[in-house]
Amino acid sequence: MIQRKRNQVDTEEYRFLKSFLETGFFERFSRSTRNDLVVIEEPYTGFGYADAVGVIYDKSISETWTDARNALQGDDVKILHHLYLTKRGRCPERLILELGFPTRRLSRAIDRLARAGMIIQLKDGRIKIQSINKIFFVKEIVAVEAKLRDWKGALTQSRNNLSFCSRSYSLFPTTAIRPHIKRQYTDTGVGIVSHGSHNRIEVASTKRTIPSNLSSWHFNEYIGRTFS
């Protein structure tokens, strides 16, 4: 469910990013022995392609993942996230009104979700999402946007990344960091990382709760299908 950009051009900015990725920056967010880490370059996030995304996930995903989970489709994830947001559950008739799905299309999606163990069907007809701890294995999604100089473009892209990730950073060469750039990032939720002879978090990113949108779920499903 995650698409990656093809045919990356070998630019100075791309080489800067690759140098940064070799430093193991994302490992600082994966200190528990229960967790594992995968770094995805240029994944599509709904707002374009993020430069790099580190996904920290619970290793137990490999113990509970099923073939039925692999059969889930885009509609199913939309319904799942909607149920996650509603908390109390929804009857099928209300889901049809809220999501605009035709009856048969909704019925098929609910059937796939039920077979995958993603939802609970209550006696009163409502459908609730399964306990989030049982189906969402991702602990952190950390996004990085690399720029050599364009801090305004980096901030815009990094703010977009906040929609799906738990932490979002803009990455600059150490020599490009200036006090006025740090001030522009204040209270945005986006952090700044500098990279030169070493890495340094110049501005901390505010940690956000995930899953926060469909892309959060897409990373979760990608990890399960790829590494379980």
Q: Give me the residue spans of the domains in the chain.
A: 12-60+138-211, 62-135
Do domains 12-60+138-211 and 62-135 share one topology? The answer is no
pTM for the structure as a whole: 0.94
User: Burial level of 213, CB count in 10 A (0-12/13-18/19+)?
Assistant: middle
Write out the two tokens for 38: 């995968």
Q: How far apart are CA 95 and CA 103, in angstroms?
A: 10
**What local confidence, expressed as pLDDT, does residue 7 receive?**
73
**What local confidence, expressed as pLDDT, does residue 43 receive?**
96
Alpha helices in 22-150 (DSSP H): 61-64, 67-70, 74-86, 92-99, 103-115, 132-135
Which residues, in sequence order, are CB contacts of 178 under 8 Å at separation 6+? Answer: none
- Is 1.10.150.80 the CATH classification of the domain at 62-135? no
**What local confidence, expressed as pLDDT, does residue 164 receive?**
97
Which residues, in sequence order, are CB contacts of 36 under 8 Å at separation 6+? Answer: 30, 56, 57, 59, 227
Across the 228 residues of the chain, what is the mean pLDDT of every consecutive 10-residue run?
77 95 94 93 92 96 94 97 94 96 96 97 96 96 97 97 97 97 96 95 97 97 93
Q: Which residues pair with 5 in a beta bridge?
A: none
Q: How far apart are CA 59 and CA 68, in angstroms?
A: 19
Helix axes 92-99, 74-86, angle to 10 degrees: 110
**What local confidence, expressed as pLDDT, does residue 47 receive?**
84
**What local confidence, expressed as pLDDT, does residue 2 receive?**
82
Which residues, in sequence order, are CB contacts of 195 under 8 Å at separation 6+? Answer: 16, 19, 20, 23, 171, 172, 173, 174
Q: Scanning the structure block, which residue is given the tokens 């690399």?
A: 146
Q: How far apart are CA 20 and CA 14, in angstroms?
A: 10
| Side chain identity at residue 184, one-letter code | Q
Span 12-60+138-211: which CATH code?
Answer: 3.40.1350.10
